[in-house]
Amino acid sequence: MPLRINNNALALNTQRHLRLTNLDVAQRIERLTSGLRVNRAADDAEGLSISEGIRGLLSGFTQSIRNAEQATNLVQTAEGSLSEVNGMLIRMRELAVQSASSTVSDTNRQALNAEFTQLVNEIDRVATATSYNNTTLLTGFGNTVSQDTAASTALDSGTTGVTGVQISGAASGVYSFIDTSNTDNEITLGNGTVSQTINLGPALEGGAVPTGATTVANFDRLGIQLTLNETFLDGGLDNTTLLIESGTGGDFQVGANNSANDRLATSISDLRASGTLLNLGAVSISTMSSSQSALSSLDSAIAAVTAQRGSLGAIQNRLSFTTRVNEHSLESNQATESSIRDADVAEEVSHFTRAQILSQSGLAIFAQANIIPARAISLLP
* Enclosing H/E stretch for 36: none
Domain ranges of the chain: 1-35+349-381, 36-138+273-342, 143-246
- In order along its 381 residues, the chain shows pLDDT tens digits of 666 777 777 878 888 888 888 888 888 888 888 888 888 887 788 888 888 888 888 999 999 999 999 999 999 999 999 999 999 999 999 999 999 999 999 899 999 999 999 999 999 999 999 999 888 999 888 888 888 888 899 988 678 888 888 887 788 899 999 988 766 788 999 998 899 999 888 888 888 888 888 888 899 888 888 888 888 888 888 899 999 988 777 889 998 888 878 888 888 888 999 888 899 989 999 999 999 999 999 999 999 999 899 989 989 999 999 999 999 999 999 898 888 888 888 888 888 888 888 888 888 887 887 777 777 777 776
CA distance 263 to 277: 27
Nearest to 173 by CA among 158, 157, 194: 194
CA distance 73 to 362: 65
Query: Could you tell me how far CA 327 lies from the centroid of its own chain?
Result: 13
Q: What is the model's pLDDT at position 10?
A: 80
Strand ranges for the chain from DSSP E = 131-132, 135-136, 139-141, 144-145, 162-167, 173-178, 186-190, 195-199, 215-219, 224-228, 241-245, 251-253, 263-265, 268-270
Pick the CATH number of 36-138+273-342 from 3.30.70.100, 2.60.40.10, 3.30.420.80, 1.20.1330.10: 1.20.1330.10
CA angle 355, 13, 347 (to 5 degrees): 15
Residue 316, CB half-sphere, CA atoms under 13 Å: how many? Answer: 15
Main-chain phi, psi angles of 195, to 5 degrees? -140, 165
What is the reported pTM? 0.73
For 60-115, what is each residue's pLDDT tens digit? 999 999 999 999 999 999 999 999 999 999 999 999 999 999 999 989 999 999 99
